[in-house]
Amino acid sequence: MRGRFDSRPLLWLVLALPGIWILGRWAATPDTYGYGHAIGDSGDWSAWLLMVTLAVTPVRLLFRRAGWAKWLMRRRRDLGVASFAYAAGHTAIYLWRKGSLDTVLSELSTDYILVGWLAFALFVPLAVTSNDVSMRALKQSWKTLHRLVYPAAILVFLHWVWSAFDPTTAWIHIGILAAIEIVRVAIQVRQRVT
Ligand code: HEM
């Protein structure tokens, strides 16, 4: 995937499209597409991009020779930062809706809100250090720090299950994520043995 399609600005344009769609629909049809849809869709996109980010390593291990798998590996940090950007937008929509610090603080007693904040808190150091300068500065600790993505993912899915009226969709996504992780661990264990 070298050349014209290997452009970072193009990738970011594609990653921004769901956000533009959410804001555009909200602005154009506020009566039918309001806060409820915007908070749900922004949360979904953040969670989907997180799953794609976590799927990159197993995909790379499965398709070693494929150029597109190498490309995904090179762009893994961008995908993670995009997941964070949707989480930040999602949180901003929530803060805008609540409108006061008192309300925001009082809702911390709601389990799924507290878990959402904890997930977001773990996302921040990951997003801030997803660049070459931090990778070079942190050396081996970079990898250790970025293992925080796993507890963050668990918190995100707990947040999704607890926030949903019908958690079936959330459980389906948890199943997919579990399958991704099982594949990753299985390949890594096999490679260590052989
Ligand atoms: C890493 C950070 C986060 C991610 C990835 C995330 C993701 C999600 C997902 C996937 C949903 C379910 C959407 C659906 O039902 O289709 C959701 C719902 C929601 N989240 Fe988050 N979230 C995060 C953090 C937060 C934070 C910090 C808050 C606010 C404090 C928050 C507030 C909400 C609310 C209010 C809902 C809607 C619940 C409802 O349907 O009534 N989230 N989030």
On average, the pLDDT of the chain sits at 95
From the CA of 90, how far away is ligand 1's center (Å)?
Answer: 7
Smallest CA-to-CA distance from 22 within 44, 37, 12, 9 is with: 37
From the CA of 160, how far away is ligand 1's center (Å)?
Answer: 6
List, in order, residues 6 or more apart from 186 with CB less than 8 Å away: none
Contact status, residue 98 vs residue 59, Cβ threshold 8 Å:
no
CA-CA distance, 69 to 71, in Å (whole number)? 5
Residue whose CA is at the smallest distance from ligand 1 atom 42: 116
CA-CA distance, 158 to 177, in Å (whole number)? 13
What pTM did the predictor assign?
A: 0.94
CA-CA distance, 154 to 174, in Å (whole number)? 9
- Hey, what are 32's tokens? 């039918």
Residue 4 confidence (pLDDT): 65
Using one digit for the tens of pLDDT, what is the confidence trace for 120-176?
A: 999 999 999 999 999 999 999 999 999 999 999 999 999 999 999 999 999 999 999
Using one digit for the tens of pLDDT, what is the confidence trace for 47-75?
A: 999 999 999 999 999 998 899 999 999 99
113 lines ligand 1 (CB under 6 A): yes
For ligand 1, pick from 22, 39, 100, 107 the residue to mutate: most ligand atoms within 8 Å of CB. 39
Residue 1 has pLDDT above 70, yes or no: no
Residue 154 confidence (pLDDT): 97
In the chain, the number of structural domains is 1
Domain that holds residue 179: 3-193
